[in-house]
Amino acid sequence: MASTKKDPVLVVLQLTGGNDYLNTVIPITDPLYRDNRPAVGVADERILKLNDKVGLHPTMGPMKNLWDQGNLAIIHGVGYANSPRSHFRSMDIWHTCEPDKLGTEGWLGRATKEIDPNKENVVTAVSFGPSLPRALALPTVPVACVDDLDSFGLLTGINEAEQRDKILDRFTRLYSPTIGTGAVMDYLGQTGLDSMKAADILKVAPEMYSSNIEYPDTTIASKLKGISQVHQANLGTRVFYCDHGSFDSHSNQVGMHDKLWTDVSQAVESFFDDLRENDAADNVIMLMFTEFGRRVHDNGSGTDHGAGGVAFLAGDAIKGGEYGEYPSLRPEHLEQGDLVPHTDFRSVYTAIVEDWMGMDAQPLVGGVFEKPAYF
Amino acid sequence: MANQDIALMAHLMRRAGFGATREELEALCEKGYDNVVEELLNPTEEPLDRFEMMRYQPWTWRPGTLPGMGAAEWLWWMVNTRRPLEEKMTLFWHHIFATGVSKVDHYDEIQNMITLFREQGMGNYKELLLGMAKNPAMIYWLDNNDNHAHAVNENWGRELLELFSMGVGNYTEVDVRECSRAFTGWTFEAKLPRGPLGRHDWRFEYRPDDHDNGEKTFLGESGNFNGDDIIDIVCQHPATAGFIARHLYNFFVADEAQVPAWQVIPPVDEDAIDALTDAFIESGYDIKATLRVLFTSDFFKNARFAKLKSPAEVVVGTLKLVGGAGFPAPGIGDLSRQPNYMGQDLLNPPSVEGWHTGAEWINSGSLMRRINFTADMVGDTSRPGVQSIVSRLRSQGDVGPEQFVDICLDLMGPLDVSSDTRQELLDHAVPGGSLNWSNEDAATERVSELLQLIVSLRDYQYA
């Protein structure tokens, strides 16, 4: 890999709903896998074997390509102690790094503030999707939330340029902070001003973009394509966020999981192909995580909420391979029927923040955690 | 008419409905606040005629799996109903029993759930909860059709406790398990393959042979419980009344912390929550009685502009203001997707937790969408509601810039704004001088521009 002075970029792909670890990275030689998965187990001959112990779900061929290239890290048994098994709470914990009390500030919001403390660039963090993930939430930190790059702009319905400029100018003054109006008014004011600036900056991205890579026609592919467009426009964005779901496979898991991983794997491969073709891949890594894994024993059609799960890191800078052991499936080692995580999710964050983003992780993740050598 | 009366009535109608025009507010003020509250609670106007919508927009009748068309029918109701609180409560329950077409893939069944909210949303909570437990869309959404005597599926059992009644922290993982066992066999008749006219109807079915008849221990009580016993026990738990009271407060009065924080962050107004909780318990979980306490309380009357509008409130409120959406005209499909662009895809919540509300409605993308939509609407001077505002202004004759700004702020709410904001609007209006009707087009254009600026205000994002 050619050395580069380009700033490191993190893309987070959130697998919302609790992705089933056991059917994503499958412990092929463990007889307990078969015993526990009479209804939703993946047939042996369909598993994409990575070595003599584990294999990927059959729809994850494009992810296996990343593995074969040495660019996919599988992070086994990730989670935290005393999983509440609630989507809501668990996602909050991953977002805020606060497993014991309720946090409102996100770890990536803190990272964004660290990268750009003076708010010099309102597109330092860009999220694709209709809502702002709590991982990026931090008062005073701007995040551009983009649904569709092409329609991202303020008062675009006013056709006459002079009139629009006049109103936008007034808008800027109206949204400027006034003293003592309260936190929500301040937040609205800042969001309004930042969004105007962000729209001005981001509108160049689709215009500058060209690529020979055809992305599939799926929602996750269009989000990742948007990320690629903004990244390739060199606007200084360092943190990208998107999500896909729902992975909440309580029932009909087989068809559901097939479709989800088909879409995610293909989109991720297109994304990296696109970046590589345009010489924009070497400073990008992607973290894929989910709020919890699912119960070891299936429920006859799907799987209920569990604890320990699997995360992935992908990218040219990633040292591919397995990190940590597959947690034991033996009944005496389970907690309430769930895998016990051995790797705290904050140790993954720590490695990303320190070894990739080049910042001190402790204030961002709220503690000192051992960091595996993913890079 | 005293401006304070209009302001209070406008507040009531924004919260207990989706806003009202100035003409409507004036008529309501004649009746008096308490009488209007009673009318909202006990509506005598006829419900809308579904056939009217069907006649012009047949695909909204049974949208099956047509994207957007289920929400279009509901949007038409929200804009046009003469029973506004009933419709607002329908939205309230959809926020809580958030069920989505992304999984259910059957708009007709989700619409049936919406109809159930419309018919029972102001009735008895326990009956509503039982109705949800037997609602096929809910059963499928939370997989209770896969909850079998010998293969327990915990999805419904968990969310019943976490999201629909008590809230996290009031039960154990064992309670979730036992609760789920009690609901085994609560399913719906076998799904048939899709027919030529779309999906077939689903009907609740209880299958005794698939019900776990063993002893269960739930929240400290033991017995051979069935689902209705669980709902009885849940409703006796003090946490349940407090949980629903807080939801009512968050939806109707002022923005609260997000739901998962409720076990650690105390309510904004503990006395208000206590008053609502007491009313709820004393009335035997009667929603109407609780709402009566809410709307006639001082904490409600004093909460003007204390919460951010949800996207549904932005879109429906704007359409009611500008008018012209009464007739089920083409284009309602596009309109029904507007809340989605602002972060609230009706009939398709992001997950079973529903939507995060309050300030979490706002991010750079959603704020732009809100402003762009409302500015486009009030900028369209062909809309009857906009014309009505213009003609009210014209009836005042030529007015100076100060009056021009104040009248517009009044007609758009009355909207409370800070003195700084008012000054900015004034600075904008002053260069044009007096609003002079000798050139009608130019005057109308100025009104339209000022209205667009007003709906772009931060202050206008509040309900």
Per-residue pLDDT of chain A (375 residues; tens, 9 = 90+): 333 468 999 999 999 999 999 999 999 999 999 999 999 999 999 999 999 999 999 999 999 999 999 999 999 999 999 888 888 889 999 999 998 887 889 999 999 999 999 999 999 999 998 888 999 999 889 999 998 898 888 988 888 888 888 899 999 999 987 766 788 999 999 999 999 999 999 999 999 999 999 999 999 999 999 999 999 999 999 999 999 988 999 988 999 999 999 999 999 999 999 999 999 999 999 999 999 999 999 998 999 999 999 999 999 999 999 999 999 999 999 999 999 999 999 999 999 999 999 999 999 999 999 999 999
The answer, for B461 touching chain A at a CB cutoff of 8 Å, is yes
Show the beta-strand stretches assigned E in B192-326. Answer: 204-206, 216-218, 221-223
In degrees, rounded to 5, the angle at the alpha carbon of residue A301 between the alpha carbons of residues B154 and A313 is 85
* Residue-wise pLDDT tens digits, B212-251: 999 999 999 999 999 999 999 999 999 999 999 999 999 9
The answer, for B191 touching chain A at a CB cutoff of 8 Å, is no
Closest CA to B308 of A139, A188, A179, A152: A188
Please report the pLDDT score of residue A159 as a whole number: 82
- A211 phi and psi, to 5 degrees? -160, 150
The answer, for A41 touching chain B at a CB cutoff of 8 Å, is no
Structure tokens at B200: 């077939």
Give the closest of A17, A130, A178 to B351, CB-based: A17
What distance in Å separates the CA atoms of residue B320 and residue B335, rounded to the nearest whole number? 13
Confidence of residue B21 (pLDDT cuts 50, 70, 90): very high
What distance in Å separates the CA atoms of residue A350 and residue A217, rounded to the nearest whole number? 35
Task: Please answer whether residues B174 and A281 qualify as being in contact, where contact means their C-beta atoms are separated by less than 8 angstroms.
Answer: no
Q: Mind telling me how many Å the CA of A138 is from chain B's nearest CA?
A: 12
In degrees, rounded to 5, the angle at the alpha carbon of residue A124 between the alpha carbons of residues A120 and A127 is 140
Please report the pLDDT score of residue B197 as a whole number: 60
The answer, for B172 touching chain A at a CB cutoff of 8 Å, is no
Cis peptide before B414 (omega within 30 of 0): yes
Cis peptide before B388 (omega within 30 of 0): no
If you search the block for the tokens 């009210």, which residue do you land on?
B392
| Portion of chain B with pLDDT greater than 70, in percent | 95
Task: Please answer whether residues A8 and A83 qualify as being in contact, where contact means their C-beta atoms are separated by less than 8 angstroms.
Answer: no
Read off the pLDDT of each residue in B314-328 and give the average, rounded to a whole number.
89
What distance in Å separates the CA atoms of residue B266 and residue B263, rounded to the nearest whole number? 8
Q: Mind telling me how many Å the CA of B31 is from chain A's nearest CA?
A: 35
What distance in Å separates the CA atoms of residue B97 and residue B159, rounded to the nearest whole number? 10
- B217 phi and psi, to 5 degrees? -120, 115
Closest CA to A20 of A218, A251, A216, A242: A251
The answer, for B212 touching chain A at a CB cutoff of 8 Å, is no
Q: Which residues pair with B435 in a beta bridge?
A: B399
If you count residue pairs, one on A and one on B, with CB atoms under 8 Å apart, how many are there?
Answer: 165
Please report the pLDDT score of residue B63 as a whole number: 63
Please report the pLDDT score of residue A237 as a whole number: 97
Which is it for the CA torsion B113, B115, B119, B121, positive or negative? Answer: positive
Asked if the Cβ–Cβ distance from A154 to B340 is below 8 Å, we say: no
Which chain A residues contact residue B458 at CB under 8 A?
174-175, 185, 188-189, 192
Give the closest of A101, A152, A178 to B420, CB-based: A178
* Residue-wise pLDDT tens digits, B110-141: 989 999 999 999 999 999 999 999 999 999 99
ipTM for the complex?
A: 0.89
Give the closest of B145, B148, B418 to A181, CB-based: B418
Which chain A residues contact residue B162 at CB under 8 A?
86, 88
Which chain B residues contact residue A96 at CB under 8 A?
none
The answer, for B103 touching chain A at a CB cutoff of 8 Å, is yes
In degrees, rounded to 5, the angle at the alpha carbon of residue B392 between the alpha carbons of residues B387 and B397 is 120
Which of A287-296, A310-319, B75-84, B184-193 bottoms out in mean pLDDT, i.e. has the lowest? B184-193
Read off the pLDDT of each residue in B143-159 and give the average, rounded to a whole number.
95
Please report the pLDDT score of residue B331 as a whole number: 78
Asked if the Cβ–Cβ distance from B154 to A170 is below 8 Å, we say: no
Asked if the Cβ–Cβ distance from A174 to B457 is below 8 Å, we say: yes
Show the beta-strand stretches assigned E in chain A. Answer: 9-16, 25-27, 48-49, 54-56, 72-79, 125-128, 144-146, 239-245, 284-290, 309-314, 321-323, 343-344
Could you please report the per-residue DSSP string of A125-144? Answer: EEEESSS--GGG--TT---E
Percent composition of chain A: helix, strand, coil (DSSP 3-state, to 5): 35, 15, 45
The answer, for A159 touching chain B at a CB cutoff of 8 Å, is no
What does DSSP say about strands A72-79 and A343-344: parallel, antiparallel, or unpaired? parallel
Give start and end residues of each alpha helix (H) in B142-269: 155-162, 173-182, 227-236, 238-252
Asked if the Cβ–Cβ distance from B365 to A158 is below 8 Å, we say: no
Among chain B residues, CA nearest to A136 = B363
How many CB atoms within 10 Å of residue A108?
A: 30
Provide the chain A residues 133-152 that lie in CB contact (below 8 A) with chain B.
142-147, 152
User: Virtual CA dihedral for A259, A261, A263, A268, nearest 10 degrees?
Assistant: 180
Among chain A residues, CA nearest to B169 = A84
pTM above 0.90, yes or no: no
